[in-house]
Amino acid sequence: MKLGISLVLGLLLSFSVMAQKAQNLALTPPMGWNSWNTFGTDINEQLVKDIADAFVKLGLKDAGYEYIVLDDGWMAMERDDNYNLVPHPDKFPNGMKEVVDYVHSKGLKFGIYNCAGATTCAGYPGSRGFEYIDAKLYAEWGVDFLKYDWCDTENLNAKGAYQTMRDALQASGRPILFSICEWGDNEPWKWGEEMGHMWRVTGDIINCWDCTVGHGTWASLGVWPIIKLRKDIRKYSGPGHWNDFDMMEVGNGMTPAEDRVHFAMWAMLASPLIMGNDLRSASDETIKTLTNKEVIAINQDALGIQAYCHTNEGDMEVWAKPLANGEWAIAFINMGQKPLQLDFDWAWHPVKDDLSGREMSVNTIEYTIRDAYAHKDRGTTKVNLKGEIGAHDIMLLRLTPKKE
Ligand code: GLA
Does 308-401 match 2-299 at the fold level?
no
Cα–ligand 1 centroid distance for 354 (angstroms): 35
Write down the pLDDT at residue 403: 84
pLDDT at 350 over 60: yes
Q: Is the pLDDT of residue 82 over 70?
A: yes
Query: Is 71 an annotated catalytic residue?
Result: no
Per-residue pLDDT for 6 more than 70?
Answer: no
Pairing of strands 340-344, 385-389: antiparallel
- Give the torsion sign (CA, 370, 371, 373, 374): negative
Lowest mean pLDDT among 11-25, 96-110, 188-202: 11-25
Q: Does 121 sit in the ligand 1 pocket, CB within 6 Å? A: yes
Which fold is adopted by the domain 2-299? TIM Barrel (3.20.20)
* Section 256-267 average pLDDT: 98
Q: Which H or E element spans position 171?
A: helix 158-172
pLDDT band at 269 (very low <50, low <70, confident <90, very high): very high
Average pLDDT, the chain: 96
Determine if ligand 1 sits within 6 Å of the CB of residue 149: yes
| Cα dihedral 36, 373, 60, 108 sign | negative
pLDDT, position 65: 99
Residue 12 has pLDDT above 80, yes or no: no
Question: Does the reported pTM lie above 0.85?
Answer: yes
Please report the pLDDT score of residue 9 as a whole number.
Answer: 53
The arithmetic mean of pLDDT across residues 396-402, rounded, is: 98
| pLDDT at res. 64 | 98
219 touches ligand 1 (CB under 6 Å): no
Distance CA 63, CA 297 (A): 9
* Cα of 37 from ligand 1 centre, angstroms: 9
Whether pLDDT at 314 is above 80: yes
**Residue 149 bears catalytic tag:** yes
Q: Is the C-beta atom of 182 inside 6 A of ligand 1? A: no
Cα 146 to ligand 1 centroid, rounded to whole Å: 13
| Confidence band for 124, pLDDT divided at 50, 70 and 90 | very high
Per-residue pLDDT tens over the stretch 225-261: 999 999 999 999 999 999 999 999 999 999 999 999 9
pLDDT on residue 1:
47
Domain made up of 308-401: CATH architecture: Sandwich (2.60)
- pLDDT of residue 168 exceeding 50: yes
At 19 the pLDDT is 85
Give the C-alpha separation, 187 to 140, whole Å: 32
Average pLDDT over residues 201-207: 98
Rounded distance between C-alpha atoms, residue 146 and residue 176, angstroms: 7
What's the pLDDT tens digit per position in 40-64?
Answer: 999 999 999 999 999 999 999 999 9
CA distance 265 to 246: 12
Q: Does the beta carbon of 335 sit less than 6 angstroms from any atom of ligand 1? A: no
Candidate list 72, 134, 149, 301, residue with the active-site label: 149
Cα distance between residue 72 and residue 263, in whole Å:
24
Q: What distance, in Å, lies between the first and last C-alpha atoms of the chain?
A: 75
Confidence class for position 16, pLDDT limits 50, 70, 90 = low
Mean pLDDT for the stretch of residues 111-136: 98
From the list 71, 134, 204, 353, the catalytic residue is 204
Q: Where are the domains of the chain?
A: 2-299, 308-401
Rounded average pLDDT over 317-323? 98
How many Cβ atoms are within 10 Å of 281's Cβ, its own excluded? 10
